[in-house]
Structure 1
């Protein structure tokens, strides 16, 4: 996998950021808090959202303050195919596309979870966060304790997955055992089920027999109830009709009284309204005499209101326009002065540009020389004060020393082989002697017990001497190997210094004839001139912006003067309209309106009397009509009362209350008997259903017992398989942890040895349950971490963590390091640069986040992030 481009919008301190990554070592550099690590979080969110668990990131935490939601876009290449992931949290949109024949096409469903699932198929999330992405704080965990180191190793090597599998398997085993015991208890609980089934079937036969007997009695009981009910029904019908007619009669009598009362009220109301109508007609006769003065009053009043309103609005607009004209005339004068000033500054700009162009070549040359001087200083620092001749001599010495040591080691290893073979021969001879009878298997002579014992003692003593010499020679082999390793490390170191020395000589040759002070002075003049020009350009830009508005102001001035003329004309027209009505001023108009106001009030009063007259005439007509209708309704009600009384007399002659009461008592007895029979039948039928259900249930239980016995056999087989799998997982965990820690220890040994210039020859890693212990080998002896200085501990932690990532990365082409140098001293930071050049270049793409400027020497592509006005800004340095 190779990340090519990341675009971030409103993510933490990043408002609008775009970063491109290249092959090789990409360094993201900047001060703490500038947004470097946030960029790595954006990559993690973009590729694997939603993220939960120990690396949880919440949407509300990474969305930039004041924004609606973050947006992340990542382009990457994997196995020759380009992909683009987009997460838009403001619109809740997520999708991933692949480039096919020059066209971007969707690679999965456009949902957040679908995109994450697709990424899991490319690189699983656990692999990414454990092998690819080395986060801040993991070095501290390595150094904190054996338990913390063990936890980190389990997480990174994904051993926790197998531990969780063991826990889950343990729960499965416990669940199988629980289920097996439950099944056994179930089988025990339902012993004797066949005997119970036979007993319940016998009870069922007795119940069915009793049901038949009850069913024989039911028809007669039902017939008797029906006959009594028919007779009761006819009696109740007559009684109900009598009650109904009595209620109707009471209702009709009430209605008759209401109609009589309403007739009396209507006759009185009509008489009162006729008197008031006569009074109003006399008032309304005065109305025609007042209409002419009322018309004049309304016309003058309407004109006055309109005149006052329009004049006030026009005078207000006129005053506003006159004020604007004064202000714009002042602004035009100011801008014309600025226009003259701008012409002078343009001439000054031209002179400064000519001077800057002349000085630019000197400034550029000084920057080139300054870069070479910086390289020379870094190269001299790397040489650590050594001269090239000393380096060449030291290389030859180390080559000779290593050659001599390798010859000694070869001789020692030959002796080790001879001693080993000799010990095997003696052990074989002793074994044959112990088994031998008759002749000696070594010399062929007759073998007595005394001779046999003597030979065994002799060979045993030789074995003891061989083992003593073997231990001595192995110690010698170890010392020679350590010396060769140290010599090899020194040789690699001085070989690098040789190349640095040659590069240094080439750079010094380039600048030997350059007058640096003169170039420095020219560079200073260039910078001063550039600052002066930038300042002048700022003033010119502001003046140009202001002067552009001059024509707009002149146009606005002409428009306002035209509006002033229009308003003045409208004011004159208002005065002309007043005079056309015969008034020289608004005061004369007001005096006439006051004269007409009393007449207007009298007119309004009489108009209201006219409206009342019409309303009363209408009401009298309506009440006369209602009076006629009420007389007709009263006659109808009187006829209905006579009919109801007649039907009521006839029904009372037919109805016998005593007979009705006797039949009600009979029906109670008949229904009681019928209910008893039905209740008994219901009980028996329920008992039958219960028995049948119980029999069916017991038959099911009998079948379940058989199935439970089969289930017990199956569970016992599953229990054996699960326990066997659990043991195999434990064995596999031990194997992968042992192999991984051995290889990690080898890589860490090489890196830590470089960090310490060969002072420590080996890093030993040992696993013990959930702990991982670390030791270093110094002077041939294993030492604990307390033996190291503070700086050496940090270097060891970094070496160990890099080793884990390099072990896990394998054939993967990407590694991300977040702040790998926070506690390293200057010397070890320089060593880290060398380690990056030596080890990390084996990986196709490395992304490092750091605030350490020295790492630039090892980087292929440097990106700087700064915080400006609360937002992260990205700049490609080289």
Structure 2
């Protein structure tokens, strides 16, 4: 990674600054307090945001301004990136915006950009300062750290923490498998108990016993069924005798009936003959009466003379009958004419009546339709009334929601915020707590830094050296800064206590704010439910109104239909009046036709009398013939009666009452046995069914036993599989642990080698043999005589070089040994010459040059006012502060001439 350009606006002591950076070694120099470190902090802030700010967000914004902005242009892994971060102070809060673009992608927002930077550089802010950025006052950070802290720092840099995470996951998986395995074993024990319980019942023995009982019962049933068949055969044979007897008896009764019937028929026929004799006498009397009536009617009718009859007319043999027929034809013609008139009137009457009926029917239909619409209207009104009652229930439910909502809102009466602001209030409190935590962290770092600085400064003062540059001084004014550091340390420690107290107080307020937020969410849920219920009530109310309006419309339609029905009834009445007039005319025509009809009937009666006389004469002759025929029929019946009487005597001889009585007795005995056997069979069949059910139950239990055995075998296999999986998870857990230990061992060996190479390069002294880095990251310095030293026992300059060597070795290890060669950020050293004398500064230059040339570090940035470092730089950045505006500015400068200030 290479930083190409940085632009600042209102960042700390800078107003506007724009700086381009080159490859190689860049030295940022200027007097103390000019803003050199702030320039590096701006780059760090651009990359990691709030995590890179040593103070609060407000401290970053230049005094008197409301917002600040930092832009950073850099190249990483062959791609160019542009990063913008800005802060804006609104008084009660500070907003944070950022945007990263490059590599054919873009990220917006603090979280997204922070995550993207961490992924690009493969390190977070802590790893960055532990590896590539040695901040002012932290040069001895690693050597002062405990071995466990040093181990955590370096493990995180080398990403060995991932293996521990994987090991923990494998451990969790192993524990999960163990839980499942325990459950499976418990289930298998339960199945074993169930199988043992089933096996203890002796199910197969029970089945054999039940099967034997079933076979015995089946044999008894078959024996009874054979006896039943035999009894049924006996009953059938007896029944055959009885049936034959009944047939003979029936035939005898039939013959007796035939004899009686023939006797009755003969007697009846004789009576008929007597009746016919009487009818013949009656017919003769009737014939005399008909002739007398005919003669009487002939005197009462007006008949045409014989010469008035047309010559072509058909004339009967009797001239009088012909005249009667002729007159009938004339009257029939007249009657036909009248009938046609009557028919026409009838058609007209029917048409008018149909019209009246049709109109009346239509009126009835309209009235029925109106009544139906009124019924529908009543039903709609009834439905609307029921729905209106439901509306009251919904209204009560709504009031219940309102009461619940009001109860939750009452919680805000004494709350520090109004309803609706709890979420933002909670967010503000959490943000405030986060800011306080960041402030506390920054204060802790500042306290630790000040303590280290005071300790180093006191050591330097004891050695007579300047606490700022480490050079020998006598009465230097910089010595007074130690008291300032002590005062600042006390101030920072007090501020840290105050911030921690504020954090504790904020925890309680946040808990209360969370309760208020839950109340707001509950109110939101209740209001949503209430809105849904209100919407339902409105829909129902609209439905009620719609039903009532529809009922009114139906009643209006019913009124219209009734009015139309009344019109139809008036029209029907008019049609009926017209029909009545036609009926009057019809009555007159019918009167005329009745008169003609009466005359026709007289003539017809006269004509009938002629026919009846003739017919009666013929009937008298027929009755005489019939009486003679019945005499012949009786003769035939008497012959058949003799035959039937003979057959009756034969049948009476064939009926054997003793045989019949015996058959009845055998049938009764067979039926009694069948009744008893049927009951016994029913009991046996019931026993058989019960045995079959019990056998089925035992078989089901046997199937359940086999199923339980199969389940037990399956669970046993699962237990074996889970046990194997448990062993595999345990092996995997151990593998990750062993792999982490092995990788740590390799990294420790590599880091120890690189540390010794770097330390030998920069510290050319015959006093020390080598440095040892143990597996627990404990550092030991070996002297040439074999004696060991703790790094804390080195002098101030030696410790500084030792730590710089360690930092550079870690940088090399990360660059060369993590997932292959990796693009690393610039190596940044802020005031690395503190505690270094001139000889040690030369060694530092050797270290920097070796990192650039031999180890290929593309960009190294140093902050220092040391002339030797300034003279060795590839490019210079000069920082100065305007004493009147207190603003810092940067400029690119030429390499200064040694010896000139």
After TM superposition, is the score higher than 0.5?
Answer: no
The alignment's TM-score, normalised by the length of structure 1, stands at: 0.37
Greater radius of gyration (CA): 2
